[in-house]
Amino acid sequence: MDYKEAVSFIKERIGSLKPEIAIVLGSGLGVLKDEIQNKIILKYEDIPGFPISTVEGHAGELIIGELSGKTIIAMNGRFHYYEGYDIKQTVFPIRVFSLLGIKNIILTNAAGGINLDYKPGDFMVINDHLSFFAESVLRGKNEDEFGVRFPDMSDVYDKEEIKKIKQIIEKHAEVAREGVYAYMKGPCYETPAEIRALRTLGADAVGMSTVPEAIVAKHSGMKIVAVSCVTNMAAGVTNQKLSHEEVKETADRVKVKFKEIIKEYLLKM
């Protein structure tokens, strides 16, 4: 894929700014946008090679600016496999970030709770993931400028950063969860049988994003921290049917907390 044009386009627009941290804003976290100072906004449709997001509730822009004293680049709106993109297109921006010299990335998402202790509105720091059921984002000729053919995945999510962000979550929420995120392709929610299977396999939460981004970020040597907002209990856990409305409602209810957590974490990075 040709990342170079996107990289030059962004560099030209941001001039002397040097973003050090990338943040992918999941459902609800778009509110972080208002807090970014001196921001430059680049619409995905204007960036060469960038796909365009299609999901309701997901914007489509890169925001470069200052937050908590750090220069950040935020993706307001991400690309999901279920939208119909090739899996490689969904992670195009992450590779661009790598070529911009970014070494730290914060991934956020909305997820279904599989762990029976969890409640909607909880925050879970991801300490590992399952991606058995999805095509590998690294399939195909290895792009050696980013990383090796067979990258190690023993430590995708940085242990020190997990500790740091959990302490911050504990201040803002009743409890800080830590667990395994299972990546599913979507767009249908899982069946109760799938959720029982995922629980048996060790998953605590489930969602349709983040893991392809995390794999590519790890491949290119970034330090990753990822947080899920548990927006609903996964299929079959309660009698309630799943809906995007519930996901949006919960994300909306806790978005201010989520925003404060990320802002405070940035201060401590």
Binding site for ligand HPA (CB under 6 A): 110-112, 184, 189-190, 206-208, 231-232, 234, 242, 247
At closest approach, how far in Å is the CB of 186 from ligand HPA?
A: 6
Query: Which residue in the list 22, 74, 110, 233 is annotated as catalytic?
Result: 110
Q: Phi and psi dihedrals of 224, rounded to 5? A: -120, 135
| 71/18 Cα distance (integer angstroms) | 7
Query: Which residue in the list 74, 111, 208, 235 is annotated as catalytic?
Result: 208
The reply to whether 83 belongs to the active site is: yes
The reply to whether 232 belongs to the active site is: yes
Are 64 and 16 a contacting pair, CB within 8 Å? no
Query: Which residue in the list 80, 129, 190, 220 is annotated as catalytic?
Result: 80
Question: What are the residues whose beta carbons fall under 8 Å from the beta carbon of 60, sequence distance 6 or more?
Answer: 43, 44, 45, 52, 53, 76, 77
At closest approach, how far in Å is the CB of 205 from ligand HPA?
A: 8
**Closest residue to ligand HPA, Cβ-based?**
112
Are 17 and 245 a contacting pair, CB within 8 Å? no
Query: Which residue in the list 27, 76, 127, 228 is annotated as catalytic?
Result: 27
CA nearest to 146, candidates 107, 90, 101, 105: 101
At closest approach, how far in Å is the CB of 139 from ligand HPA?
A: 23
Q: Smaller CB distance to ligand HPA: residue 22 or 234?
A: 234
Query: Which residue in the list 244, 246, 264, 269 is annotated as catalytic?
Result: 244
Query: Which residue in the list 1, 20, 59, 82 is annotated as catalytic?
Result: 82
* Residue located via tokens 């990335």: 105
| 67/260 Cα distance (integer angstroms) | 11
At closest approach, how far in Å is the CB of 149 from ligand HPA?
A: 30
Q: Phi and psi dihedrals of 249, rounded to 5? A: -60, -50
The reply to whether 27 belongs to the active site is: yes
CA nearest to 224, candidates 130, 108, 124: 108
Question: What are the residues whose beta carbons fall under 8 Å from the beta carbon of 221, sequence distance 6 or more?
Answer: 98, 103, 147
Task: Give the Å distances, CA to CA, from 57 to 28, 93, 141, 226.
Answer: 8, 19, 34, 20
Q: Smaller CB distance to ligand HPA: residue 246 or 264?
A: 246
Q: Smaller CB distance to ligand HPA: residue 6 or 226?
A: 226
The reply to whether 129 belongs to the active site is: no
At closest approach, how far in Å is the CB of 29 from ligand HPA?
A: 13
At closest approach, how far in Å is the CB of 207 from ligand HPA?
A: 4
DSSP state of 56: T
Q: Smaller CB distance to ligand HPA: residue 62 or 124?
A: 124
CA nearest to 145, candidates 226, 216, 198, 228: 216
Q: Smaller CB distance to ligand HPA: residue 53 or 220?
A: 53
The reply to whether 244 belongs to the active site is: yes
Q: Are strands 223-233 and 21-25 parallel, antiparallel or unpaired?
A: unpaired
Q: Smaller CB distance to ligand HPA: residue 220 or 232?
A: 232
The reply to whether 82 belongs to the active site is: yes
Question: What are the catalytic residues?
Answer: 27, 58, 80, 82-83, 110, 208-209, 232, 244
